[in-house]
Amino acid sequence: MNSFDYLFRFIIVGDSNVGKSCLLLQFTDNNFRNQHETTIGVEFGSKTITNNNKKIKVQIWDTAGQDSFRSITRSYYRGAIGGLIVYDVTSRESFDSINRWLGEIENHANEKIVLSIVGNKADLTEQRQVSFQEGMDLAKKHNLRFFETSAKTGMNVENTFLFTSVEIISRIESGKLEPSEEQGIRISQSKPPQEETQGDDGEKKSRCC
């Protein structure tokens, strides 16, 4: 029995402190931490979700927002087919950085990468500096999907990964996207690859770099 039908590699980028690691933690463990433990290099997580009876294994590289880690984090961009560009709805500065992150992705990621813009910390209504409409308009301008999330309450976190994955599937099915390992896509064969039969079910976390 295969552990997945599709495997997609994702990256999460965005300024430091916007909640990238908390989004990953909420998605993989349904958990939240109040402290900002700045990511050193890259952290990894994965989870299998289901859509239309198909199992989608999402492998995620959560990158450090701090500039000093940029050369390490960039090396992970190329192998990803899904990308979340995250800002914090309570920080205008992090929203203004989105264009810079789009430039980073354009220069260093696979040109076929399927991106979504994510406005996180939507639970902090009193401190909000960026409206839903502004986020939506920016995403529309770049022809990208847009989600507001809360890594604290879990609002929209799974949907963000799910709908971005569904878009990847739709591009594969329409022939716009050629599935390949280098592009961060694996489609399950009738006989699963060796490593997938050895109990690596993917609900794992580790840290590197």
Ligand X SMILES: Nc1nc2c(ncn2[C@@H]2O[C@H](COP(=O)(O)OP(=O)(O)OP(=O)(O)O)[C@@H](O)[C@H]2O)c(=O)[nH]1
Q: Footprint of Mg ion on this chain (CB under 5 A)?
A: 20-21, 39
Which of Mg ion, ligand X, none does 18 bind, CB closer than 5 to 8 A by kind? ligand X
Nearer to ligand X, 94 or 110 (CB): 94
* Cα distance from N-terminal residue to C-terminal residue, the chain: 33
Q: Which of residues 29, 30, 36, 170 is near ligand X by CB under 6 A?
A: 36
Q: Does 21 bind ligand X (CB under 6 A)?
A: yes
Q: Which of residues 1, 35, 111, 174 is near ligand X by CB under 6 A?
A: 35
Which of ligand X, Mg ion, none does 151 bind, CB closer than 5 to 8 A by kind? ligand X
CB of 72 to Mg ion, least distance (A): 13
CB of 45 to ligand X, least distance (A): 12
Distance of CA 166 to the CA centre of its chain: 13
Residue 170's alpha-carbon distances to 9, 33, 141, 143, 173, in angstroms, are 16, 34, 21, 16, 5
Give the x-and-dash track for 114-133 against ligand X (CB under 6 A).
------xx-xx---------
Q: Does 156 bind ligand X (CB under 6 A)?
A: no
Q: Does 84 bind ligand X (CB under 6 A)?
A: no
C-beta of residue 82 within 8 angstroms of C-beta of residue 47: no
C-beta of residue 116 within 8 angstroms of C-beta of residue 138: no
Q: Give the separation between CA 201 and CA 129, rounded to whole angstroms.
A: 40
CB of 28 to ligand X, least distance (A): 13
CB of 64 to Mg ion, least distance (A): 6
CB of 185 to Mg ion, least distance (A): 25
Chain residues in the site for ligand X (CB under 6 A): 16-22, 33-39, 64-66, 120-121, 123-124, 150-152
